[in-house]
Chain A
């Protein structure tokens, strides 16, 4: 993948990816169509199955998931809405994966046109110091590749089990 990391800041996680899509399409899919691609099966905080994710298209708008029973769980709010190039959201989900409006970590997404059909998307999740003593634990989750060694040995054993 076209993924890149910058080192340094312990209070921030940065990622970038290049897409074969025009800037306006990238913006629209990220915002309007977030419900079609956000990995809701694993990234949701409500008790029930989540069926949609929504970003309300304005500064001050809510950012939330909708459950199959119609209930909603807030994730944060829209801090800057600058189509088609910049989106700033607050990420108010605490280290126990509960909504906490006082948390206010920030998620900035920049859409940079690099060609007619090529967009670079940069994501920065910052102010992670707001997680306090759990900052390092949370930064690992947001940023890091897990323990590949442990997983590979696990899958090796699973594969061995499957072939017997």
Chain B
């Protein structure tokens, strides 16, 4: 399980929020993330490590490049923490049961 407090702490830093925002629409390399920012590439790498530790960012190797992107597990954990474990689970169940009921009515 991913810790929601850890996620909030990771996003509590303005530079990390900026980095996280830059990954929202597509994956990027460290170089691309650092472009136009006032922080060095090693500093960006450090921030990425924290975001990764919180489950917000994941890395994939494409050839020799390492590309960073949003990890949806962190987003999911944050939502669960907001809703409460059983609220979120029941909402997911409700959607599935109603989908199934609608499907069976059509038969």
Contact = CB atoms under 8 A, between A and B. Distances in A.
Chain A, interface SS category:
mixed
B104 A25 contact: yes
Interface residue range, chain B: 35 or more
Given A37-B95, A42-B2, A143 B84 contact: yes
A121 B93 contact: yes
Contacts of B18: 161
Contact of B8 (A29, A30, A148, A154): A154
Interface residue range, chain A: 35 or more
A30 B85 contact: no
B104 A38 contact: no
A21 B101 contact: yes
Contacts of A125: 86
Interface stretch (B26-34, B41-49, B60-68, B72-80): B72-80
Contacts of A9: none
Interface of A: 1, 3, 13, 15, 17, 19-22, 25-26, 28-30, 33, 36-39, 41-45, 97, 117, 119, 121, 123, 125, 141-146, 148, 150-151, 154, 157-158, 161-162
Given A39-B88, A146-B84, 7 more contacts: A33-B96, A36-B96, A117-B105, A121-B90, A142-B84, A150-B8, A157-B17
